[in-house]
Amino acid sequence: MSRKSRLLRIFLVVGFVVAFAGYFAFSTFFFNPFEGRLGVDVSALAPRDVDFYVARADLADLFDEFPELAVEERLSKSPAYATWKGSPESAEFYQQLGLQGVVTELRTINDQIPLGMEVLDVVGGRDLAIAGRFAGPDLAQSDWAAYATVNWVGKLLIEGLAFPSLNPMAQQGFTVESAGEFVSVSGGGLPRPLFLARIKDVAIVATSKQWLDTAFENQVHQFQDSFLQRALYADHIANAPRSREADEVEFFVNTRAAFEKFGKGGDWPDDKSQDPTARFLARFFRSGMLNRVVGMLSFDGGLNVDLHGELSSELMSGMQTQNYRINGADQGELHERILPYVPEDTALLIYGKARPGDLLSTTFDVMEPAARDLVADALKQSGKYPELQTLIDELDTSLKSRFAVIVRVNDYPISENDPPNDGQPVFAVALLTWMEQPDKIEELRNTIGHMGTRIGLQPIKPEHSSGFYRNKIGGYTQYEYTSLAIPGTGVIVTQSTPDGICIVSNSVYMLNHLLKTSTQGAPSYPRLTD
């Protein structure tokens, strides 16, 4: 064997020994460089019985500078959000929930990461979940744990905490103590001690050691008693339809526990409010009925929320029980029956199911007595409705138990042929209901129109006999009722569609807009789905 061959062999052997020793030492003191990932969602490490859970994948797109959300800049351009952000109600909301304390705690953690890095540098812009239990009237008092998938930098930082010579936190006023599989960090501006551990590529930061113990136990028992296996999470998040990126914000809240700890929130909307809208909503929903909420939130092309709730039947009225027994709307139903009518620039879309008679009777119940008596007297004079209940019963059988509300900015052009109005700025609103007996609806439209001045209708022009107009549009009759008492537009217009929908709107332009959106679509009348 030549000298060069021997030297090469020696170098190879020495190199192998050094590499093996280095690998062995690194694996012993830090972590195995070749260890795999956890292999399941981080929710598998959280306890099954948490009070709240928030998670998201692809964190790099969620934050501009941790913990500031990237969507904050887009939201700040909205006048409504800017008004809310600067309002006393917003400040009170943040103070009551202790959100500022939570943000401060997250900033402290972020600022103490060495080498000028941030949380996102450590977790690699991947998954993050926060689970917790409410512990008092302030959200900042909650007992919580954060679970984040980390890259090799994050693994090294966590394992390096156990070695004072490698840990710069001691020089910054922190006390770091190592105890087997976890380390505790206190002092240095932290409001309370934090406990850190790692399971493969998932780092855990918690306010108590119990969270770490549970995570290790879940791993040993194949995650059988974890939050991942909770039925609500499995049904409405883990197995629910997701975007291709699966980057929605996942959330779960035990609202019952929240109301009990915070001491408020269970009586919204107020059924004794001076606002008729609040009293109307309170007849169908009170926050105290809600046990748990689970769902997903995304900001792709706007704010999208998929929300599911568990209700307490013992806290519901008979009317509420009957309406909540009606089958909810699924995605197929929404796409088939509603979305063809919804313009691309819609500001708000509501699709729900409720008994028409209950909706109408509740509307009359929350009206001012004088206004209700005025409507009742006008209906009685028609000779067809001796009392309000007669009208309620007729509509209850004439309409199906589903409805939609479409709201958009009222930016339609003004015409000299428009009815006089009070000039109030209002949204363009349309109510869509499905007809069971179209002939009854047609009869009611004519009955209302023939009441004329008895219900305050006023003609557009003095030479017209009344404020009731019927126009043929595409083979269908469009009914207009004009009056200065109608805010902003001075008109209520209604028309039936070929597929059995009754549309009622405060804008002739919007009603025609919906019809053309349904029949033509893009490019002239693009839909929300486009």
Instruction: Establish if 4 belongs to a structural domain.
Output: no
Instruction: Establish if 29 belongs to a structural domain.
Output: no
Q: Tokens in use for 224?
A: 């059988």
Full-model pTM:
0.74
Instruction: Establish if 7 belongs to a structural domain.
Output: no
- Whether residues 274 and 346 share a domain: the answer is no
Instruction: Establish if 6 belongs to a structural domain.
Output: no
- Whether residues 359 and 490 share a domain: the answer is yes
Instruction: Establish if 139 belongs to a structural domain.
Output: yes
Q: What is the DSSP letter of 527?
A: B
- Whether residues 264 and 398 share a domain: the answer is no
C-alpha gyration radius of the chain = 31
Instruction: Establish if 524 belongs to a structural domain.
Output: no
CB-count burial class (<10 Å; 0-12, 13-18, 19+) for 211: buried
CA nearest to 381, candidates 484, 459, 482, 450: 450
Domain boundary among 213, 228, 243: 228
Domain boundary among 325, 360, 388: 325
- Whether residues 390 and 364 share a domain: the answer is yes
- Whether residues 379 and 414 share a domain: the answer is yes
- Whether residues 256 and 115 share a domain: the answer is no
CB 298: neighbour CB atoms within 10 A? 17
Instruction: Establish if 31 belongs to a structural domain.
Output: no
CA distances for 93 relative to 88, 89, 106, 318, 500, angstroms: 9, 6, 19, 33, 44
- Whether residues 363 and 484 share a domain: the answer is yes
- Whether residues 346 and 447 share a domain: the answer is yes
- Whether residues 415 and 479 share a domain: the answer is yes
Residue 241 to residue 291: CA distance in whole angstroms: 24
How many independent structural domains does the chain possess?
A: 3
CB-based contacts of 306, cutoff 8 Å, min separation 6: 236, 240, 248, 295, 296, 297
- Whether residues 222 and 255 share a domain: the answer is no
Q: Tokens in use for 301?
A: 């092309």
- Whether residues 146 and 136 share a domain: the answer is yes
Residue 307 to residue 511: CA distance in whole angstroms: 29
Give SS3 for 428: strand
Residue 501 to residue 36: CA distance in whole angstroms: 57
Q: What is the pLDDT along the chain (530 residues), one digit of tens a residue?
A: 566 666 666 666 655 555 545 444 444 444 555 576 788 999 999 999 999 999 988 776 666 666 566 666 666 665 556 666 677 766 766 666 555 666 666 666 666 666 566 666 665 557 889 999 999 888 888 999 999 888 766 676 776 666 665 666 666 778 888 877 888 888 877 888 999 998 888 989 999 999 999 999 999 999 999 999 999 999 999 888 887 777 789 999 999 999 888 877 667 888 888 888 889 988 998 888 999 999 998 876 666 788 888 988 888 888 888 888 876 666 677 788 889 999 999 988 988 889 999 999 999 999 989 888 988 998 888 888 999 999 999 999 999 999 999 999 999 998 888 999 999 999 999 999 999 999 999 999 999 999 888 888 998 888 787 899 999 887 889 999 999 999 999 999 999 999 999 999 999 999 999 999 999 999 999 998 87
- Whether residues 397 and 502 share a domain: the answer is yes
CA 168 to chain centre: 41
Domain boundary among 300, 325, 350: 325
**Domain span including residue 154:** 38-228
